[in-house]
Amino acid sequence: MQEVKIAVLGNYATQFTCKSIEKAFKKKGCKAILYNAEFNAIDFEIIDENSGLYKFEPSYLLWHESTLGLRDLFYQTSVNDRSCFAKNYIEKIETYIGRIRQILPNTVILFPNHGLIFNDNIFGNFAAKVDSSWFFQVVKLNALVNEVSVRNDSFYVFDSVNQELYGRHTDYSQVVNAELHFTPPYLDWLAESIAKFVLTISGKFKKCVILDLDNTLWGGIIGDDGLEGIQIGSLGIGKAFTRFQKWLKELKNRGVVLAVCSKNNLEVAQQPFRSHSDMILSLDDIAVFIANWDSKADNINTIREILNIGFDSMVFLDDNPAERDIVRKHLPDVEVPEMPEDPAEYVPFLIAQNIFETSSYSTNDSERTQQYQIEAQRVEMSKSITDMSVFLTSLNMRAEVRSFRKEDVDRVAQLTQRSNQFNLRTIRYTSSEINSMIENKEYCTFCVEVNDKFGSYGLISVGIIKLLGGGVAFIDTWIMSCRVLKRTVEHYLMNTIVGYLKEKKIEKLEGEYLSTIKNSLVENLLDELGMEKTNEDKYELYLDKHVKLKTYINL
């Protein structure tokens, strides 16, 4: 069972928070090992280098300040200083982040924001005109804390508002009796969102939404009602579906891949996408479009093969409970939300589920759909050519290999977090860890961009070599996007790495395969790269014995 070390600091009684976190991780099949600091010991734990926090060396730090406690602090501030309250508070937070970084450079900090604010009504609605009012300062503080998050890679601000529990997040009797500032149901919810986020960082998140069409993307049945009869835009309850499509389009722009799986004739199913003027989604937005009369479970499997992702990263949205049931039964790893009956509720329902948690974003993401579509064209072409080497030559592939630059950091970190299959050791890195490798002389870093005559694949492969001293180097990380499988990119990168290391007077390269449920694809990678197995999963290669590997990629 995966174990995660989490420390909890708070300005209220956090025992319940710890219990909720334990429960939430257990639900997801992980074990949370917790360090619960004393009540109200945030300053001490962070400042003192011998504190329990630092001895514990957590992977995650939940830094949870209740807004109620913050307001007490505000009331203790002299009236003259109140207009600087948010600014001063933020300065303190940033100083503390720096302090934590010094001692625990790799700990990820999770900071629930002060979203549960409420006007204390000392100034009523006039508060917005008074910069020394509580309401003015706490709203400002929330905006500033987001900026802190932008400046500090591993400091994450959490949304603290749960719509369903709104108004029930605090029981004032418990505040007085036990310094418990949040109700157990609220803490359960917060803990679950933390667990989801932590698993997201370690690579478990949703990459693809599979959509049904009739009564999911539009009202009515295209096969029966025809192009003019389906409800989208101004017709009937079409507005509900328009809003749903807009939300899906936003998701797609963020980098979540959209696929269609519908029981229909392909031509009929695509008709609205081609010719209905009120449709928000177009065929360009859909990476894989499947419409036939086969079982949806089989079709989802086909989509999975084309996209090369795991079932557990797919979400299936269908208005039909019977179809949902079949998919759940056959593909238990696919997430199948119980869609509300009323299409007007689709978007608020999905928002409340927060299914698409992510721990990274790069502009590369928004091009993903296009890349999958290009991939589908390549698949078509490779079908028509039987000789692989003719095909590879005809692709006219070119590559650029370079050490990590500042602008590569986010994408590289993302690859370490996302890739499960072509990933030799599955070590996850945050952006700040990747960033620190750029300057570190112990690391030689490589990232590869590839393009061919169809278009660019972007940055698709990463190698991190650690110099161990004594002329020995070690393959810490080798990752490749499955989009470029069988393109000899790995051969190309190996040739480059060996050449580079030889210049650095390295004599021996060591490697290791760390097996996971998902990475059997690279079980034999090191053998294929010409390295010699020394035992079980360990490999070595004396660089003077390296034979240049065949590759179809040109500089």
* Packed helices 388-395 and 368-384: angle between N→C axes, nearest 10 degrees: 140
- Alpha-carbon distance of 40 to 211, in angstroms, equals 48
Between 177 and 386, name the residue whose CB sits nearer to another protein. 177
Query: Considering the complex, what minimum distance in angstroms separates the CB of residue 165 from another protein?
Result: 13
Query: Considering the complex, what minimum distance in angstroms separates the CB of residue 198 from another protein?
Result: 24
- Alpha-carbon distance of 369 to 366, in angstroms, equals 7
Query: Considering the complex, what minimum distance in angstroms separates the CB of residue 75 from another protein?
Result: 20
Between 183 and 394, name the residue whose CB sits nearer to another protein. 183
Query: Considering the complex, what minimum distance in angstroms separates the CB of residue 14 from another protein?
Result: 11
- Alpha-carbon distance of 192 to 186, in angstroms, equals 10
Q: Are the CB atoms for 493 and 458 separated by under 8 Å?
A: no
Residues 6+ positions from 481 with CB-CB distance below 8 Å: 415, 419, 422, 457, 460, 461
Query: Considering the complex, what minimum distance in angstroms separates the CB of residue 180 from another protein?
Result: 6
Q: Are the CB atoms for 191 and 184 separated by under 8 Å?
A: no
Query: Considering the complex, what minimum distance in angstroms separates the CB of residue 173 from another protein?
Result: 4
Between 188 and 452, name the residue whose CB sits nearer to another protein. 188
Between 176 and 322, name the residue whose CB sits nearer to another protein. 176
- Alpha-carbon distance of 333 to 336, in angstroms, equals 9
Between 18 and 145, name the residue whose CB sits nearer to another protein. 18
Residue 327 structure tokens: 């998919």
The 3-state secondary structure of 336-348 reads CCCCCCCHHHHHH
Between 171 and 507, name the residue whose CB sits nearer to another protein. 171
Residues 6+ positions from 161 with CB-CB distance below 8 Å: 115, 116
Give, as one character, the DSSP assignment of residue 245.
Answer: H
Between 17 and 519, name the residue whose CB sits nearer to another protein. 17
Query: Considering the complex, what minimum distance in angstroms separates the CB of residue 34 from another protein?
Result: 14
Give, as one character, the DSSP assignment of residue 169.
Answer: S
Question: Going along 201-320, which residue ranges are E strands?
Answer: 208-211, 257-263, 286-292, 314-317
Beta strands at 60-64 and 2-10: parallel, antiparallel or unpaired: parallel
CA distances from 226 to 223, 433, 484, 540 (A): 6, 55, 41, 64
> Which residues here bind another protein, judged by CB under 8 A?
15-16, 19, 172-174, 176-178, 180, 183-184
In the numeric block, the tokens 């029966």 are attached to 224
In the numeric block, the tokens 């830094």 are attached to 63
Q: Are the CB atoms for 141 and 91 separated by under 8 Å?
A: no
Between 186 and 273, name the residue whose CB sits nearer to another protein. 186
Q: Are the CB atoms for 509 and 543 separated by under 8 Å?
A: yes
Instruction: At 111, give phi and psi (nearest 5°).
Output: -125, 100
Residues 6+ positions from 78 with CB-CB distance below 8 Å: none
* 3-class DSSP state of 77: coil
Between 72 and 342, name the residue whose CB sits nearer to another protein. 72
Between 16 and 539, name the residue whose CB sits nearer to another protein. 16
Query: Considering the complex, what minimum distance in angstroms separates the CB of residue 16 from another protein?
Result: 7
Query: Considering the complex, what minimum distance in angstroms separates the CB of residue 99 from another protein?
Result: 30
Query: Considering the complex, what minimum distance in angstroms separates the CB of residue 182 from another protein?
Result: 11
- Alpha-carbon distance of 188 to 174, in angstroms, equals 16
Residue 155 structure tokens: 């400091």
Between 184 and 530, name the residue whose CB sits nearer to another protein. 184
Between 26 and 545, name the residue whose CB sits nearer to another protein. 26
Between 188 and 510, name the residue whose CB sits nearer to another protein. 188
Q: Which element (helix H / strand E) includes 541?
A: strand 538-542
Query: Considering the complex, what minimum distance in angstroms separates the CB of residue 184 from another protein?
Result: 6
Give, as one character, the DSSP assignment of residue 38.
Answer: P
Query: Considering the complex, what minimum distance in angstroms separates the CB of residue 463 from another protein?
Result: 49
Query: Considering the complex, what minimum distance in angstroms separates the CB of residue 63 from another protein?
Result: 22
